């Protein structure tokens, strides 16, 4: 059994459903401390939802050396019905060349590979020029308000800057290394409440139907071109996720209509501009409404450059795969790290089983993943 596989199994065996860390970060800090890392545990949030974070740094020998951070999360999503799993999700289990367990793909294999890659890199290059760091949280799969975002704020207050960051999200699709995420779309949600006047359906002149009033505006919102995207991002999209109006009776005009919607937006749009356009359209239709906004995350983008090239070369050397850059998928903690780091990308194992029953990772991909991380360190910090 390889050291990377062994460590992956140790992490999977620790129950760390958000915001619990299950002792993962302490185990990691112990290994990094032995390599000369300065390890700082950071806890944020209320007592009933305490989030554990880790910042670990090993300084390079060159005063002006670059700084590369690996980042990830030790928390995992809930298992779902245990009876649906073929084996205990917190007992690492091998079947047909796969390692099964909650977090196997998202993202305990990546974390184990990062740590072992760092150990091998430091052993081979104890006086490496650039600095190596690791940023971990137990609140990526949850609200994500006391995790990476707080650590980045803490680092910014101390004047800490990063040059490169690799987030260990599972990004591969068909083969290890076939995709790197070099950005993510932003997410902006709205809860629209259109006000009307409730009344008897037989006397519509004595009521005001918010469904009828809102329908043209909603159709217009759905048909609007918000932007055309760019070379890295598809056009911004607006989608309704929930709509509710009515009392449950067939003879009552409702007094209000509630619509939940979401933007997934590119770097061609800003949250404020999108909000202004929505309000202007609703006002044009003369609606009496209330609208509450929630910004889930800003988009971030790292154009092809030093970091993506270094990982692409490492992937090609290790696997022979020609990787692709992509900004598809949901949000990640990369959106927070991008505030203190000019180059942020995500790279990890196959994502086909993440969050699913019987989550798994191919055992044969674990050592190559570790080697890709180590080769990237060599490409950037020597």
- Cβ proximity of 188 and 294 under 8 Å: yes
Considering 21, 119, 139, 140, which one is annotated as catalytic?
A: 140
- Cβ proximity of 265 and 185 under 8 Å: yes
Active site residue 276: no
What is the C-alpha separation between 262 and 216, in angstroms, rounded? 18
SS (H, E, C) 279-330: HHHHHHCCCCEEEEEEEEECCEECCCCHHHHHHHHHHHHHHCCCCEEECCCC
Considering 75, 141, 146, 333, which one is annotated as catalytic?
A: 75
Active site residue 367: no
- Cβ proximity of 109 and 74 under 8 Å: no
180: Cβ contacts below 8 Å, ≥ 6 apart: 171, 308, 311, 312, 315, 323, 324, 325, 326, 345, 346, 347
Q: Which of 156, 154, 151 is nearest to 140 (CA)?
A: 151
Annotated catalytic residues are 75, 140
């Amino acid at each position: 059994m390889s050291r990377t596989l062994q460590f992956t199994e140790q992490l999977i065996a620790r129950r760390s459903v958000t915001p619990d860390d299950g002792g993962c970060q302490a185990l990691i800090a112990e290994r990094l401390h032995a390599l000369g890392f300065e390890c700082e545990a950071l806890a944020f949030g209320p007592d009933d939802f305490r989030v554990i974070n880790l910042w670990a740094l090993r300084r390079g020998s060159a005063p002006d050396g670059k700084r590369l951070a690996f980042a990830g999360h030790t928390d995992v999503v809930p298992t779902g019905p245990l009876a649906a799993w073929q084996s205990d999700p917190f007992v690492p289990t091998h079947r047909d060349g796969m390692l099964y367990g909650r977090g196997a793909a998202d993202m305990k294999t990546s974390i184990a590979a990062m740590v072992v890659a760092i150990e091998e890199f430091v052993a081979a290059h104890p006086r490496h020029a650039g600095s190596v760091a690791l940023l971990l949280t137990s609140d990526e799969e949850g609200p994500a308000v006391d995790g990476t975002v707080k650590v980045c704020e803490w680092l910014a207050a101390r004047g800490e800057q990063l040059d490169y960051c690799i987030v260990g999200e599972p990004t591969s699709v068909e083969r290890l290394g076939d995709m790197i995420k070099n950005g993510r779309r932003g997410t902006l949600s709205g809860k629209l409440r259109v006000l009307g006047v409730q009344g008897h359906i037989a006397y519509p002149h004595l009521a005001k139907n918010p469904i009828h009033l809102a329908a043209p505006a909603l159709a217009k919102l759905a048909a609007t071109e918000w932007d055309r995207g760019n070379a890295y991002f598809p056009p911004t999209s607006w989608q309704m996720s929930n709509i509710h109006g009515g009392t449950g009776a067939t003879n009552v005009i409702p007094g209000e209509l509630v619509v939940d919607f979401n933007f997934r937006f590119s770097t061609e749009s800003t949250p404020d501009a999108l909000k202004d356009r929505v309000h202007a359209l609703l006002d044009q239709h003369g609606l009496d409404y209330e609208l509450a906004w929630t910004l889930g995350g800003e988009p971030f983008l790292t154009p092809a450059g030093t970091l993506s090239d270094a990982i692409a070369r490492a992937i090609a050397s290790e696997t022979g795969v020609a990787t692709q850059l992509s900004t598809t998928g949901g949000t990640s903690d990369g959106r927070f790290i991008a505030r203190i780091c000019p180059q942020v990308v995500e790279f990890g194992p196959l994502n086909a089983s993440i969050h699913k029953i019987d989550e798994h990772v191919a055992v044969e991909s674990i050592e190559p993943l570790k080697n890709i991380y180590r080769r990237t360190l060599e490409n950037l910090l020597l």
